[in-house]
């Protein structure tokens, strides 16, 4: 109980850190800044020693590019006032334009997709009905898949109003919903930063890796949403407490926050931990038998050694099956 109390106090402190001043943007759209650039503050005698890249891409130049690309920025000094942090965020309408431009794939809502597919789509051209697609009905007659036929289908984003209901909506702060997760907003922001200036809508034309190598920016990284991070940590703690439910990790929440690559790692970690339970149990029995019979030779060791490669093969086949699902 005391340990749980300490954990609760810890999370309460983290929640206080997570509380931020809600400005008009957050109140209206439910999210805040997603990315940050770190610039060095140069003293007067250091200006002459700047390389060509640093002279070309000044902080003002980069901020002007961001403004042209409709990226909202906020600048502030570090505690030592030797660095300037530039936080960035993008209006939802600009995110949609960028997602449409690069054909960004989003998860479709299964229920709305099913209803739309069965209804078909008809439009009018010069007072004449034009069938865009006929009614579609996808069925799994032989129950081959454990999933519904309309689940986990992704589609390219389109700004058309008729298609907005097809995209899965994710919750944000203050009961707002958006088709873009935090990881999606960061990816689209990076796409805008690296997009070409002459495109429509224009990008910033920045090579982030080159800017960091040439010390134009000291660092650039996405910002944490501490409220969501604390919620994920709380659910991860339940893995230790709720043993009756097995090893359950909030995989979807991790995927939506950190991205699919990190999510897949946690899927593997969950599967690997579950599969280790049987070898751990057998190993414990082998150890107890060895202690009871006080045998230095380990009479059970050959049997355990023979079991280990068999378990390894079963594990690999099981992971291949789990990965394909």
Report the number of secondary-structure helices (H) and strands (E) in the chain.
13, 10
- State the pLDDT at residue 158: 94
Q: Are 218 and 86 in contact (CB under 8 A)?
A: no
- Going from the C-alpha of 128 to that of each of 110, 125, 131, 139, 248, the distances in angstroms are 31, 5, 10, 32, 54
CA 130 distance to own-chain centroid: 39
Distance of alpha carbon 318 from alpha carbon 314, whole angstroms:
6
- Per-residue pLDDT of the chain (325 residues), as tens digits, is 555 556 555 555 555 444 455 688 998 999 999 999 999 999 888 888 899 999 999 999 999 999 999 999 999 999 999 999 999 999 999 999 999 999 999 999 999 999 989 988 777 766 777 777 788 888 888 888 888 999 999 999 999 998 899 999 999 888 899 999 999 999 999 999 999 999 888 999 999 999 999 999 999 999 998 888 888 888 887 765 444 455 778 889 999 999 999 999 999 988 898 888 889 888 888 888 877 776 655 677 788 888 899 999 999 999 998 887 7
Number of other CB atoms surrounding residue 72 within 10 Å:
14
Structure tokens at 319: 């992971």
Are 189 and 35 a contacting pair, CB within 8 Å?
yes
Work out the end-to-end distance of the chain between its first and last CA atoms, rounded to an integer number of angstroms.
Answer: 40
User: What are the Cα distances from residue 18, in Å, to 11, 15, 114, 121?
Assistant: 10, 5, 39, 45
SS3 assignment, position 302: helix
CA torsion 303→309→310→311, rounded to 10°? 100
Question: Which pLDDT belongs to residue 174?
Answer: 84
Q: What pLDDT, on a 0 to 100 scale, did the predictor assign at position 241? A: 43
Any bridge partners for residue 154, and if so which? Answer: 107
pLDDT at residue 18 in the model? 46
Strands of 41-100 (E only): list them.
71-77, 83-90
pLDDT in the model for residue 19 = 47
The set of long-range contacts for 254-258, using a CB threshold of 8 Å and a minimum separation of 24, is 256/170, 256/181, 256/182, 256/183, 257/181, 257/182, 257/183, 257/225, 257/228, 257/229, 257/232, 258/183
pLDDT at res. 3: 59
State the Cα angle at 129 between 126 and 134, rounded to 5°. Answer: 145
* Residue for token pair 């946690």: 266
191-216: burial string, b at 16+ Cβ within 10 Å, e else: bbbebeeeeeeebbbbeeeebeebeb
The model carries a pTM of 0.83
Determine phi and psi for 58, rounding to 5 degrees. -75, 170
């Amino acid at each position: 109980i005391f340990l749980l109390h300490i954990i609760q106090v810890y999370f309460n402190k983290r929640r206080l850190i997570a509380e931020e001043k809600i400005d008009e943007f957050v109140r209206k759209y439910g999210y805040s800044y997603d990315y940050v650039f770190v610039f060095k503050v140069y003293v007067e005698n250091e200006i002459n020693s700047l390389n060509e890249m640093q002279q070309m891409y000044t902080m003002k130049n980069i901020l002007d590019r961001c403004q042209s690309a409709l990226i909202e920025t906020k600048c502030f000094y570090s505690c030592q006032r030797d660095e300037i942090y530039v936080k960035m965020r993008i209006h939802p309408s600009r995110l949609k334009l960028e997602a449409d431009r690069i054909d960004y794939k989003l998860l479709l809502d299964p229920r709305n997709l099913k209803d739309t597919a069965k209804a078909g789509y008809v439009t009018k051209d010069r007072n004449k009905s034009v069938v865009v697609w006929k009614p579609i009905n996808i069925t799994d007659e032989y129950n081959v898949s454990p999933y519904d036929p309309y689940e986990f289908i992704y589609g390219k984003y389109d700004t058309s109003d008729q298609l907005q209901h097809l995209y899965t909506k994710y919750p944000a702060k203050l009961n707002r919903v958006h088709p873009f997760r935090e990881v999606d907003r960061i990816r689209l922001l990076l796409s805008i930063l690296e997009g070409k200036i002459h495109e429509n809508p224009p990008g910033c034309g920045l090579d982030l890796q080159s800017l960091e190598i040439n010390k134009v920016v000291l660092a650039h990284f996405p910002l944490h949403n501490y409220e969501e991070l604390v919620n994920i940590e709380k659910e991860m703690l339940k893995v230790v407490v709720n043993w009756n439910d097995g090893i359950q990790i909030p995989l979807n929440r991790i995927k939506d926050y950190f991205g699919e690559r990190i999510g897949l790692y946690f899927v593997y970690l969950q599967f690997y931990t579950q599969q280790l339970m049987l070898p751990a149990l057998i190993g414990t029995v082998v150890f107890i038998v060895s202690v009871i019979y006080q045998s230095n030779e380990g009479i059970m060791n050959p049997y355990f050694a023979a079991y280990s490669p068999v378990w390894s093969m079963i594990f690999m086949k099981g992971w291949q099956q789990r990965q394909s699902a």
